[in-house]
Amino acid sequence: MRFDVVTLFPEMFGVVRDLGVTGRAHAQGRWSLHAWNPRDFTHDVHRTVDDRPYGGGPGMVMMAGPLEAAVNAAQEARAAQGLGRAPVALLAPVGRRYDQAGAESLAAGDGIILICGRYEGVDQRFIDRCVTQEISLGDFVLSGGEIAALAVIDAAVRLLPGVLNDGDSALQDSFNDTLSGLLDSPHYTRPEVYEGEPVPAALLSGHHANIARWRRERSLALTVARRPELIESARARGWLDKADERYLAELTGTWDPASETPRRKRKPARPAKASDAS
Ligand SMILES: C[S@@+](CC[C@H](N)C(=O)[O-])C[C@H]1O[C@@H](n2cnc3c(N)ncnc32)[C@H](O)[C@@H]1O
């Protein structure tokens, strides 16, 4: 898999290229990273890549020309390597939020060209001509797209076959289908008692089914408290079994022991109509 990054700060990408899990995978040749500096595609002595915004206002805007030339160079380098044209993604707060499904779909392809904006953003004509998708890291504004691009690359690379030491460990992570798309359960390691706090007894029992049930219930409890929409989505996909539904209903006090099912929510009372008064 090949990542091409268009950035004014290529040195920032040493973080994923050289360190940790992604660094090891890079050294093993499982993925490659190529940085393109738009300044190398300028034609003036100052290597200008930005200018004032038309219409006035604060800040500067990245010019279309150097960005488009950098993208073309990246596509040509990919073609020379026998790869097809890559999608071109601009990191932008106005983009679609990056998530685990996005990382999975990226990991299934052969790479992408990531454009890191700076200043107030990039000339819209570059976006219209060259960009196939806009990706946001979340509802906040960074100083530049590099940190967002690093997150995009890291989340995708760790899903590539053979990248994680324990091949199963990505399957146990939050949002994974194997975990029904729920949040991960808490983790503990030695010492068995830390500052008076013991490890939960279920994890010390050695009883695999009990440990699995404990983890599942912690996942359900955490997810219902923090990300209830993930519970709804797991339910809609048929990923919650009877034991899960019972646990969730017990948590919310809606378990009906007589019928052994969650009590149905009462329908809200019909709003009174004017005609009811007569
Ligand atoms: C200061 S920001 C520009 C913000 C832009 N004026 C706006 O309000 O949408 C500079 C660059 O940082 C990157 N960036 C900032 N926040 C981001 C986010 N949440 N996700 C992805 N990229 C982001 C984009 O590449 C953007 O062009």
Taking only the tens place, the pLDDT of each residue in 195-237 is 999 999 999 999 999 999 999 999 999 999 999 999 999 999 9
For the CA of 115, the nearest atom of ligand 1: 25
Residue 107's closest CA among 47, 155, 41, 43?
A: 155
Give the pLDDT mean for 273-278: 54
Among the listed residues 10, 93, 200, 262, the single catalytic one is 93
Among the listed residues 104, 134, 173, 245, the single catalytic one is 173
Residue 161 preceded by cis peptide, ω within 30: no
Give the pLDDT mean for 26-41: 98
Q: What is the CA(241)–ligand 1 centre distance, in A?
A: 42
Tokens 């599942």 belong to which residue? 216
- Known catalytic residue: 53? no
Across the chain, mean pLDDT equals: 94
DSSP 8-state class, residue 122 = B
Task: Check pLDDT > 70 for residue 154.
Answer: yes
Rounded to two decimals, what is the model's pTM?
Answer: 0.92
Tokens of 116: 């890191």
- Known catalytic residue: 11? no
Burial class (CB in 10 A: 0-12, 13-18, 19+), 194: exposed
Q: What is the CA(217)–ligand 1 centre distance, in A?
A: 38
Other beta carbons less than 10 A from residue 2's beta carbon: 18
Task: Check pLDDT > 60 for residue 275.
Answer: no
pLDDT of residue 278: 44
pLDDT of residue 273: 64
pLDDT of residue 174: 96
Residue 90's closest CA among 69, 66, 115?
A: 115
Q: What is the CA(255)–ligand 1 centre distance, in A?
A: 46
Using 50, 70 and 90 to split pLDDT, how confident is the model at 156? very high
Using 50, 70 and 90 to split pLDDT, how confident is the model at 266? low
List pocket residues of ligand 1, CB cut-off 6 Å: 91-94, 116-118, 120-121, 136-138, 140-145, 148
Task: Check pLDDT > 90 for residue 62.
Answer: yes
Q: What is the CA(83)–ligand 1 centre distance, in A?
A: 29
C-alpha to C-alpha distance for 202 and 209, rounded to whole angstroms = 10
Give the pLDDT mean for 82-95: 98
Instruction: Find the helix or strand (DSSP H, E) in which 262 lies.
Output: strand 261-262
Give the pLDDT mean for 168-178: 87
Instruction: Report residue 179 CA to chain centroid gap.
Output: 16
pLDDT of residue 167: 60
Using 50, 70 and 90 to split pLDDT, how confident is the model at 263? confident
Query: What residue owns the CA closest to ligand 1's atom 6?
Result: 120
C-alpha to C-alpha distance for 258 and 113, rounded to whole angstroms = 58
**Contact of 74 with 34, CB cutoff 8 Å:** yes
Give the pLDDT mean for 136-147: 98
**Contact of 91 with 152, CB cutoff 8 Å:** yes
For ligand 1, mutation pick of 5, 91, 113, 146 (most atoms within 8 Å of CB): 91
